[in-house]
Amino acid sequence: MIRKALLVGINDYAPVGSGGPDLRGCVNDVRDMANTLSVLNIVPATASSMKILTDARATKAAILNGFKWLVAGAKKGDVLVFFYSGHGSQIADVSGDEVDKKDEVICPHDYATAGMIKDDDFRALLVNLPAGVNLDVILDSCYSGTGTQVLSALAATPDEQSIAYRYIEPPIDWGFFIDANPSLPVHGILKREGTGGSRDPVVVLNMNHVLWAACKDNQTSAEAPINGVYRGIFTYNFCKALRGAGTSITRRRLDSQVTVNVKGMGYNQVAQLEGTTSSLNEKVFT
């Protein structure tokens, strides 16, 4: 059995240094996730098993190449983890000549020049994933059309009190059609259409991976100082709950515990878990 992880966290968006839509908790999220996976013997803390991409190294090309490395040669029983902490955005997904849905995307360090990473990019890499491979995709990023307004309202808030939301407004060539058609149904990255309205884990037949999203498709994902250190609210609670329960907990139970803990901290974002019935009821990372 092979155990591998690709962990991506981006605080510093291009240009390098100040000037981009920077965040503060994403690299800490990667550190927390790497430590958690290692301590619980889910993925060994070795360069051959765990690849980490942060800030300027987390380009679009590097993330996609890293994902290819993650799934390359995968066989039944292997345990694979893809974790992303950073900005998310949304675009109109065009089918034929008609706009019929919205897609969530993630934003690599160089998204402004290289482009965002769409769900189609990942699906193309997953289409031949063998049955029985245990792939968990964990995304701590936003999907919200109001995130930029929330950010502007917080601009004058002192650092020690501030909450940031991980959302980037899409470029006009992708975002215009959403603004022009506000009734478009939501279709999140690596999610099936219409899953955003339910709190319960979403069962998807024949899904070949498990998706952990930090919030529903129409919500923001927050980062804030916790004990003086900026972290993603979802990632912090995911790692804390997983360390407390160990790998004997099922995905459903872990999802429920994370949601309770996030709400207990005063945040409204609701994590979304998606997979097959059997994968949701399995012990985590098995």
- Asked about 187 being catalytic, the answer comes back as no
Give the whole-number percent of the chain exceeding pLDDT 70: 71
Q: How confident is the model at residue 169, as a pLDDT?
A: 55
Q: Coil, strand, or helix at residue 154?
A: coil
Distance, in Å, from the CA atom of 134 to the CA atom of 284, rounded to the nearest integer, reads: 10
- Using the Cα atoms of residue 216, residue 60, residue 5 and residue 168 in order, give the sign of their dihedral: negative
Higher pLDDT, 200 or 38: 38
Bridge partners, 92 (sequence order)? 102
* Rounded mean pLDDT, 108-127: 89
Predicted TM-score (pTM) of the model is: 0.81
pLDDT per position as a tens digit, 65-97 = 999 999 999 999 999 999 999 998 766 654 433
Distance, in Å, from the CA atom of 71 to the CA atom of 130, rounded to the nearest integer, reads: 10
Distance, in Å, from the CA atom of 135 to the CA atom of 81, rounded to the nearest integer, reads: 6
pLDDT per position as a tens digit, 194-233 = 333 445 666 665 688 999 988 876 677 888 999 999 999 9
pLDDT per position as a tens digit, 16-37 = 887 788 999 999 999 999 999 9
* Rounded mean pLDDT, 127-140: 93
For residue 273, pLDDT beyond 80: yes
Domain boundaries, the chain: 3-281
CB 102 within 8 A of CB 184: yes
Question: Could you give the angle at the alpha carbon of 172 between the alpha carbons of 57 and 181, nearest 5°?
Answer: 125
Enter the CATH code of domain 3-281: 3.40.50.1460
Determine the longest span between alpha carbons in the chain, in angstroms.
51
Q: How confident is the model at residue 204, as a pLDDT?
A: 61
Of 26, 87, 107, 187, the active-site residue reads 87
Q: Coil, strand, or helix at residue 20?
A: strand
Distance, in Å, from the CA atom of 106 to the CA atom of 138, rounded to the nearest integer, reads: 12
Q: How confident is the model at residue 163, as a pLDDT?
A: 53
Of 26, 107, 142, 239, the active-site residue reads 142
